[in-house]
Amino acid sequence: MSRKSTVPPKAWLALENGSVYEGLSAGAGGTAQGEVVFTTSMTGYVETLTDPSYWGQIVVATNPHIGNHGVQLEDRQWDRIAAAGYVVADKTSPDSPGMDGRSLRRFLQEGGVVAASGLPTRDLALMIRGAGALRGVLTTEKASSKALVALARRVPAMEGRSLSRLVSVREPRVFGRSRRRVSLLDLGSKRALIDTLIESGVSVKAFPARTSAATLLKEGPEAVVLSSGPGDPAAMRPEIETTRELMRSGVPVLGICLGYQLLGLAAGASSFKLKFGHHGANHPVKDLQTGQVLITTQNHGFALKAGSLPSGWRETHRSLNDGTLEGFKHRHAAGLQFHPEGAPGPREARELVRRFLNRSS
């Protein structure tokens, strides 16, 4: 006897501009809210969902087939799903099991994350490109379109929000066994960054986001790494002051994504909100010294203003998509706006981390 198929309950995505979309639930029931952004990654949805930089955001996947190879838990970048919600196009892919039998739908349900399938995700991406990142709600709880749009308009904007303390380690943690030690200010680090540092020959001690410079330097690390993470860098005044103190210490400092932005702000540069952010694993970035083009993984909604860095700070990388600044160097400091660790995406930029650490040793 054949099993009777069960149609999932409906789900709705409402945006602050008045748009409302209806699809099917692909995760947990309930209501999620946040800034709605899109990612162009074709694979790596587990890594995307568990990237702490997506905290407070509803992620729209432009690739139509998301979930068709299931979930491998070893791909997780954090101990739980960070994204507030998830939107995909295909109605059936989220049910495909992975090697351990876990489907994307089950992964989202277990994580308590609201998701929807069957939405026109590429149309949504075009809308966001035109209007900019939009506040929204994703829900399985039926309500009028007017009520849902009103709720979306009450969602807090990302500007002015300091979020790293919500996704950072609670207590210091040590990774790796090398005698070469690096302190990591965990602003929402992915596990792949820690793996990349260990593969470069160092052990890593991760500290909570509000750790002082004195504590980060206390055990004599050969370098301090400022990780990626969510939120508005300009709202992170304590972390900016900590970064400024680290720079004055003379110990080499490497900033990744949000950490890069904090380095720039500590130096006196200014930041701004990108129209729709950079999210995905196929962003071309040019090395201004060698001319090499790297295909990079990116996940950020803010950027540093080109030309706002003070004298002595050399620009090293530029985005070939929109020309935004992607890297800089200054004496013992360096910053990369993209994610050299990948996860998801190419790993070719990991070499930049190894070079920095070898120059620091």
119/193 same-domain check = no
The residue ranges of the chain whose pLDDT is under 50 are 1-4
In-domain check, residue 102: yes
Positions marked active-site: 257, 339, 341
Determine the 3-state secondary structure of 144 from DSSP. Answer: coil
19/82 same-domain check = yes
pLDDT for position 256? 98
In-domain check, residue 18: yes
Q: How many CB atoms lie within 10 A of CB 30?
A: 14
Contacts with 211 (C-beta within 8 Å, 6 or more apart), sequence order: 172, 185, 242
pLDDT for position 5? 54
200/223 same-domain check = yes
| Distance between start and end Cα atoms, the chain | 67
pLDDT for position 361? 52
Which of 124, 152, 180 is the endpoint of a domain?
152
Q: Domains in the chain: how many in total?
A: 2
pLDDT for position 178? 96
187/130 same-domain check = no
pLDDT for position 360? 59
**In the block, residue with structure tokens 């070939």:** 320
In-domain check, residue 132: yes
Q: What is the CATH classification number for the domain harbouring 331?
A: 3.40.50.880
State the residue range of the domain holding 119: 10-152
48/189 same-domain check = no
